[in-house]
Structure 1
């Protein structure tokens, strides 16, 4: 009986360590600053090498030149590199590849 309870306790401890390791990864937080001369109407961040862009992070919002907004990416990836895509009010798009977002509190999006 003692051995069975020890096995259960070890399994619970292992699960708790695994869950706390997952929580330690946390969300990726940064401030996006529009350092261009045009309004940014869409902004996307996707893992490098994926075929599709994730959803538009700005949603209905528009980021005017010089403005900034706090961004949270909650995908809990260990790799901080993302492909970024900004779409401007005239429809022009600018893509930036393999940007490391963990090394910055403020990311300045430029043309």
Structure 2
């Protein structure tokens, strides 16, 4: 519970924009400031296709190493993920971690948080109602 509170406290970003109709671009969870010598060198593919099938637009998406209490930054940045759309995200932050917590916020005010998603084994993650 304390971890959820700390991660939730770090989220206060307002977004405007839309994901283009082009194929889902790859977005990296790691900023250049927290990238540890580039990608992890263990051979695991940490790209995850995030699929929005909720009926609402996803305004924000966070993926943070399950060992931390910080949500880091909103991966969508100035974009949104419309219902029915997909976005391929590179979750690799260079730390070698496989377990990440996901949080998504939607236009209906709902916030869905999932813990300990193994991005070394999961290649897609679908949000539904």
Q: What is the RMSD computed on CA atoms of the aligned residues?
A: 2.2
Alignment-derived partner of residue 33 in structure 1: 51
TM-score (norm 2): 0.61
Measured after TM superposition, the shift of residue 49 of structure 1 is 4.2
Q: 2:100 & 2:118 partners in 1: Cα distance? A: 7
Aligned to 1:70: 88
Provide TM-score, normalisation by structure 1.
0.69
Q: What CA distance in whole angstroms lies between the structure 2 residues aligned with 1:55 and 1:24? A: 25
* Of 101-110 and 56-65, the range deviating more from structure 2: 101-110
**Unpaired runs of 5+ in structure 1?**
1-18
Partner Cα separation in structure 1 for residue 109 and residue 69 of structure 2: 20
Work out which of the residue numbers 90, 101, 106 in structure 1 matches 2:119.
101
Does the 8 Å contact 1:25/1:78 carry over to 2? no
Contact conserved, 2:42 with 2:96, CA < 8 A, in 1? no
1:42-70 deviation line (CA, Å, top 9, x unaligned) = 00001114222111011111111111011
Distance 1:32 1:96, change over 3 A: same
Select 1:86's aligned residue among 65, 80, 104: 104
Larger radius of gyration: 1
Question: Higher helix share goes to which structure?
Answer: 1
Decide whether aligned partners of structure 1 residues 27 and 74 sit closer, same or farther in structure 2, where only a CA change above 3 A counts: farther
Unaligned runs of 5+ in 2: 1-36
Asked if 2 retains the 8 angstrom alpha-carbon contact of 1:26 and 1:76, the reply is: no
